[in-house]
Amino acid sequence: MVSPTPLQAFSAVPKAPKTNKQTLVDGEKMTGAQALIRTLEDLGVQDVFGIPGGAILPVYHEIHDDTKFRFVLMRHEQGAGHAAEGYAVATGRVGVCIVTSGPGATNMVTPIADANMDSVPLVVISGQVGVNAIGTDAFQEADTVGITYPVVKHSYLVTDAQDIPRVLAEAHYVARTGRPGPVVVDITKTAQVDDMYYSWPQKLLLPGYNPTTKPHGHVLREAAKLFEQSYRPVLYVGGGAVRSNASEQVKELADLTDSPIVTTLPACGIVPDSDPKVLGMLGMHGTLAATAATQKCDLLVAIGARFDDRVTGKLEAFAPAARVIHIDIDPAEIGKRRQPDVPIVGDVAEVLDALNAEIKRGQAIHGLPNHESWWKLINSWREKYPMKYDETTPDGTLSPQWVVEELSRQAAPSTIWVSGVGQHQMWASQLVDFENPHSWISSGGLGTMGFGLPAAIGARIGSTRDFGGKKPVWLIDGDGSFQMTSEELAAAFIDNAPVKIAILNNSVYGMVRQWQTLFYDKHYSQTSIQDGENTEDIINVPDFVKLAEAYGCVGIRARTQDEARNAIKRANEINDRPVLIDFRVYKDAMVWPMVAAGQSNDTVTYMPGIQPLLHHNAANPAADDASDDTENVAEAADIAAAEK
């Protein structure tokens, strides 16, 4: 049996004749549209992103020069959603969008799904046709609540103007509390134009919604005991720790327990990369040391992480000898993919404050941990298998990895880094020096190409609002990813969001080409996009420098290292408009290390032919034969020593 979607169910209910009689007379009389604007102001919303349209026009009619929030007019609803995401991650506040019905709302589905996957607080306000038109296939009618239902934290269909303040207050609260996420508020045109009586604050009606934030004492004692019994602990830190602002608590736990820190993609920078306990990102394209430490650990402490497949590889072979402590505010994540020995439901920051106190009490009795042998093994992986790449390329183009490192070298320490999705995203996560939390914004779970530019605009709006623009925003993007939302250059220029854009232009869909090279017999089907070819017989479409200039931005092209250094220096000096640099990079550069999808992390390939955790070196079998026994014995000895 197929259940009806919310809007189908609503349209099947007989509609009583509308009366204008108000039973509530307390408050200031105004229209629903006026109440919506007033509610956003009273919620403290300072910046809103969106595009107007017919079914939401009464609301836009009430946005004036003296409205207390700034409105940023984007060029596509998807861009508005991603801008709100970038704003939310950069500032820690709820991102707000206002779009119209039908195609306006359906264009928001991707950002809503993206925010849902990455736990980004978002309130999406969409217009809807009038109550009497629902279910009639009216112009620009779509079942917005039904379409987005699987990918939202919560949703509302508002048919009565009097409900608007309460619903928006609830939506804002739900979006930012517990596990953050997107909330859709679909408001009929009827509710927008009808009169109501406004009062503030509103009483929230959320029966059953009471997120657990504080941990229970007995699980803290059990977790502390596991730390006491561990010889090879690893802190596996995810985006939930970032959303909880738990940077200091994670650092304290690592220092207390002498544990290494490995991170997921969204958690890059939660503890500065310069901290010796930070091993970097683990998983498919993580550092060798981070992946190896996780595979060999005897205690895995998942902190705001969800055991994503890109992290675990083959789940059954992930950290096979480890006991698991799993800390998450969302009880649905506990045990979803790996059953923990100690489950702890609660806000990461609050849990770690309590856990650190419990560990200190235990250490006062039992003494401090000594993981010298464990760190000896970890540091040997670090020394043997650092991040490296070929700085020279066969065709003389730039090495994309070198470009990313040079961007990081010249950037201010306070820089907010944003990426699109693809190889450039992985190189950024590997090679940028992250020294601050909330300094890295990327699409993780959904992997949305086109995320980068609008998210960077949102982050730059947030930087201007909260930090006086003193946190510059660099977008590292690919030529394919960038073209999916490049129209937002108009918003960046007109709304004074001077982002700095580095396009790693290899003229192909790079990550897809890498997979075609490795797994699909080098059959490069439909991955050449011919926008950065370095030959005169191919016209590059588009010319990114001309495209930037057409939108009022500064466009620069760099083909050599000297040109690249000068271009980056010039971009850092320009702060009155967006700057785009078209870096011509090698199309067959690959992201290493790599774990093939679905394979055990023990099969991680450091560089082609080198799989250190299998002790197999196809590039030099003779050397491997001579060294295998020695390496196996040495590693076994280090692990045994760590357990003493």
Q: Is 583 helix (H, G, I), strand (E, B) or coil?
A: strand
Mean pLDDT, residues 275-279 taken together: 98
Tokens of 103: 């195609």
User: Residue 186 is encoded by which pair of tokens?
Assistant: 């679909």
Distance CA 457, CA 463 (A): 10
Contacts (Cβ under 8 Å, ≥6 apart) of 205: 166, 170
Given a cut of 80, whether residue 629 has pLDDT beyond it is no
Instruction: Give the pLDDT of residue 622.
Output: 39
**pLDDT at residue 2 in the model:** 40
Provide the token pair at 267: 């958690």
Percentage helix, strand, coil for the chain under 3-state DSSP, each rounded to 5? 45, 15, 40
506: pLDDT strictly greater than 90 = yes
pLDDT at 640: 60
Query: Which of 607, 599, 628 is CA-nearest to residue 385?
Result: 607
- Grade residue 644 by pLDDT with cuts at 50, 70 and 90: low
Catalytic residue flag (residue 77): yes
Q: How confident is the model at residue 627 (pLDDT cuts 50, 70, 90)?
A: very low
What is the DSSP pairing of strand 195-198 with strand 28-31?
A: antiparallel
pTM, whole model, 2 decimals? 0.93
> pLDDT > 90: what percent of the chain?
89
612-625 average pLDDT score: 54
Rounded to whole angstroms, the Cα distance separating 573 from 568 reads 9
User: What's the mean per-residue pLDDT of the chain?
Assistant: 93
Average of per-residue pLDDT across 414-441: 97
Residue with tokens 């699409």: 443
CB 282 within 8 A of CB 261: no
Which range among 5-19, 200-214, 436-450, 601-615 shows the weakest confidence by mean pLDDT? 5-19
Residue 14 preceded by cis peptide, ω within 30: no
Q: Catalytic site residue 139?
A: yes
46, 74, 189, 318: the catalytic one is 189
Whether 576 and 289 have beta carbons less than 8 Å apart is answered as no
Rounded CA separation 67/83 (Å): 20
Question: Looking at residue 187, what DSSP letter applies?
Answer: E
Amino acid at 608: P
Instruction: Using pLDDT thresholds of 50, 70 and 90, give the confidence band for residue 463.
Output: very high
User: Which member of 15, 29, 139, 549 is catalytic?
Assistant: 139
Active site residue 189: yes
- Give the lowest-confidence range in 381-385, 491-495, 607-611, 629-633: 629-633
Which is more confidently placed, 65 or 628?
A: 65
Of 8, 140, 363, 410, which is the active-site residue? 140
Q: Please determine, for residue 559, whether its predicted confidence score (pLDDT) is greater than 80.
A: yes
Confidence of residue 636 (pLDDT cuts 50, 70, 90): low
Report yes or no: 558 and 582 within 8 Å, Cβ to Cβ: yes
- Give the containing element (helix H, strand E) for 417: strand 416-419
| Residue 301: pLDDT over 70 | yes
Clarify whether 49 is annotated catalytic.
no
In this prediction, residue 369 has a pLDDT band, given cuts at 50, 70 and 90, of very high
Average pLDDT over residues 382-394: 96
Of 34, 46, 74, 77, the catalytic one is 77
Short-list 230, 229, 222, CA closest to 260: 230
Q: How far apart are the first and last CA of the chain?
A: 60
Secondary structure in 3-state letters for 365-384: HHCCCCCHHHHHHHHHHHHH
Pairing of strands 579-584, 500-505: parallel
The position carrying tokens 């604050």 is 201
Please state, in angstroms and rounded to a whole number, the distance separating the CA atoms of residues 611 and 443.
29
How confident is the model at residue 16, as a pLDDT? 57
- Residue 220 CA to residue 240 CA, distance in Å, equals 19
Give the containing element (helix H, strand E) for 325. strand 323-328
pLDDT in tens, 102-147: 999 999 999 999 999 999 999 999 999 999 999 999 999 999 999 9
Percent of the chain predicted with pLDDT > 70: 91
Q: Mind listing the pLDDT tens digit for each residue in 172-193?
A: 999 999 999 999 999 999 999 9
Distances (CA, A) of 522 to 218, 377, 512, 604, 607: 55, 37, 11, 21, 18
pLDDT band at 98 (very low <50, low <70, confident <90, very high): very high
Q: Identify the residue whose tokens are 């002498």.
A: 258
Catalytic-role residue among 108, 281, 511, 594: 511
Does the structure show a pLDDT above 50 at 540?
Answer: yes
Q: Which among 156, 159, 110 is positioned nearest to 134, based on CA atoms?
A: 159
- Alpha-carbon distances of 589 from 323, 423, 432, 557, 585, rounded to whole Å: 38, 9, 17, 19, 8
- The CA distance from 386 to 80, in Å, is 39
The answer to whether 78 touches 106, Cβ cutoff 8 Å, is: no
* Residue 174 and residue 144 in contact, taking contact as beta carbons nearer than 8 Å: no
pLDDT at 26: 83
134 close to 60: Cβ distance less than 8 angstroms: no
